Structure 1
Amino acid sequence: MTTPQEARPPIAAAIIVQDGQVLMVQRRVKEGSLSWQFPAGQVESGETCSDAAVRETQEEVGLTVEPVKELGERVHPATKRTMIYVACRAVSGTARLVDDDELAAVEWCDRPKLSEYVPYPFYEPVQEYLDAALA
């Protein structure tokens, strides 16, 4: 028997760093206390986590990315959803607000701005990746 949690598809998040900044989106509806987060969405049937991260980035902010590596997976402490974090590299396009039903804003954040928007450490493998990429 599956629990409701197991029945819900995982969420794939794209961690995109470019020129010393990381791409963040502000959700119109907070998830727990989260307002600013990485471009992300549900992994659809037949899709890999990397495919989902790439698709969601395109759908939400119009940026074409390619996966670099999977950083890790966990059950998010606030949302209780399985999260898979995928480091991605921007290939083409300009990040902009595309999905204005779900998103209120899109912003490239340097380390101080990121700390202001998300005032607590990220999931450890993501934090380590950001620490190295934003150094």
Structure 2
Amino acid sequence: MTETTTQPGISAAIIVRDDRVLMVRRRVSEGELMWQFPAGAIEAGESAEQAAVRETLEETGLTVSAVKLLGERVHPKTGRLMAYTACAAIDGEARVADEEELDAVAWIRHDEIPEYVPYGLFEPVQEYLDGELAGTV
């Protein structure tokens, strides 16, 4: 049995507002800091889209709605099943709402993505952001 079948899937929210995408810097157990999208475990009875909405509120205080599921994959670095959902910001301002999990939040421009995620994004997420953030260099 692999890790992907014994652990719950992870759902990530891809949130675009004012020509920028929301990234969070996670506190991980090794003490390293890593930028990624708001994300967390999918709970029993919850869809990937519902988890993305819930995790975004819990981590950043930002209320979002799910727009569409962009895709799923086994993450090459963690071996966990990942789901990526495009979300629309509805209410609030993104902030560090869960200080145990996050260190910082940032709204980044399209041309800044490689600085925050040097190993590249999942192709369907990159394609979505290329379309949503095109021309914002």
Per the TM superposition, whether the score is higher than 0.5 is yes
* CA-to-aligned-CA distance 1:60-114 (integer Å, 9 cap, x gap): 0000000000000000000000000000000001101100101000010012322
TM-score (normalizing by structure 2) = 0.92
Structure 1 pair 34/85, CA: closer, same or farther in 2 (3 Å)?
farther
Q: Work out the CA distance in 2 between the residues paired with 1:49 and 1:65.
A: 14
Instruction: Find the counterpart in structure 2 of residue 99 from structure 1.
Output: 98
Q: Work out the CA distance in 2 between the residues paired with 1:75 and 1:128.
A: 18
Q: Do the aligned residues in 1 keep the contact of 2:3 with 2:79 (CA within 8 Å)?
A: no
Runs (4 or more) in structure 1 with deviation over 2 Å come to: 2-5
In structure 2, the gaps of 5 or more residues are none
Instruction: Find the counterpart in structure 1 of residue 40 from structure 2.
Output: 41
Q: Work out the CA distance in 2 between the residues paired with 1:30 and 1:126.
A: 26
Q: Do the aligned residues in 1 keep the contact of 2:4 with 2:74 (CA within 8 Å)?
A: no
Secondary structure at 1:85's aligned position in 2? strand
TM-score (normalizing by structure 1) = 0.93
Instruction: Find the counterpart in structure 2 of residue 27 from structure 1.
Output: 26
Secondary structure at 2:28's aligned position in 1? strand
The percentage of aligned residue pairs carrying the same residue is 59
In structure 1, the gaps of 5 or more residues are none
| Greater Cα offset, 118-127 or 76-85 | 118-127
When the two structures are aligned, how many residues end up with a matched partner? Answer: 133
Alignment of 1:120-135 (within 5 A): 120-135=119-134
